[in-house]
Structure 1
Amino acid sequence: MSDAVVVDANLALKWVLLEVDSTMSLGLLDKWTDERKEIMAPALFAYEVTNILHRHAIAGKLTYDEALQGLSKLFSLGILLQFSLYEETSARAIEFAHRFHLPATYDAHYLALAQREQCEFWTADARLWNTVKNELNWVRLLGDSRP
């Protein structure tokens, strides 16, 4: 495995939103920082976290100022956003979506990036993890204790 890790929006948002497993997620962030891991995500990560924070503000779970502060904090962490300029990465995302019967290619882009970088992909999305865990042992679920 490489010195990089791919994270999805579900996991990263726990770094700025107070949720049940935020402490666990922050522990991973501290560990990766100590290990000097490069934290990566596909470019769509920026749109996903922005949209989720906006939706929290609309629902009254956050003020708009808190949503903006959360966004600023996430972007200050230096997450390396990867643009899928290469046809093979997007093609691989379609292959993953087809193989695992995913309704869209968003999650599949995270899978394709982690495969390309030969690193772990961490998610807080139990449904995605349950779908791929038996075939993709480099996909990790927040809170899972598998080695």
Structure 2
Amino acid sequence: MSNYICLDTSVLIKLFIQEEDSDKATLLLQRIIDQGQLIVLPAFAWAEIGTVLRKKRRRGELAVQEADDLWLEFRQFPGIEYFNDDSIMDLAWKISRHFDMPTLYDAAFLAVAEVVERRTGETCEFWTADEKLVNLLNGRRKYVRFLKELN
């Protein structure tokens, strides 16, 4: 078991907003807590969570106070370490190029998982609820896990 785990925004948001597979995200979080794992994320991940909350607020899916409360809850979320260094940026670029990804956002999460593994020697699983990403990677990154398949 690794001491580190990387969670995609698509998984993190399910911990704060009831969506399809929120129950699986909660189960995964309980396992993370039970195993004492540290959640590792690219430095901009907080902005992605905030963006999702803002979009839901602007569409009327969340009340103003509800969005504010969820943002505060996320900001107080324990056990997260944000990564921001050149190795993440350079590797994200290479990953996005290799898989012909249109943006660097998903690639940055993958890069964090790979850099953590290189630094610690421990596999850092990357969990996502993004089926398009899972299909794009097509099993070519063994550390990638699809939330829908969590038992």
Fold shared, TM-score > 0.5 on shorter chain: yes
Structure 1 residue 83, shift from structure 2 partner: 3.4
* Aligned counterpart, 1:2: 2
Task: Measure the CA separation in 2 of the matches of 1:10 and 1:24.
Answer: 12
| Structure 1 unmatched runs, 5+ | none
Matches within 5 A, 1:80-99: 80-85=80-85, 87-99=86-98
Contact 1:41 1:79 in 2 (8 A): no
The alignment's TM-score, normalised by the length of structure 1, stands at 0.92
> Helix, strand or coil: the match of 1:143?
helix
Task: Measure the CA separation in 2 of the matches of 1:79 and 1:49.
Answer: 16
Would you say 1:110 and 2:109 are equivalent positions? Answer: yes
Deviations 1:39-91 (A, max 9, x none): 12111111000011000000000012111111122222224242322x22211
Task: Measure the CA separation in 2 of the matches of 1:145 and 1:55.
Answer: 27
> Helix, strand or coil: the match of 2:6?
strand
* Aligned counterpart, 1:123: 128
Deviations 1:11-46 (A, max 9, x none): 000001011211111010011101111012111111
> Helix, strand or coil: the match of 2:149?
coil
Would you say 1:135 and 2:140 are equivalent positions? Answer: yes
| Alignment coverage as a number of residue pairs | 145
Runs of 4+ displaced beyond 4 Å: none
* Aligned counterpart, 1:40: 40
| Structure 2 unmatched runs, 5+ | 118-123
* Aligned counterpart, 1:11: 11
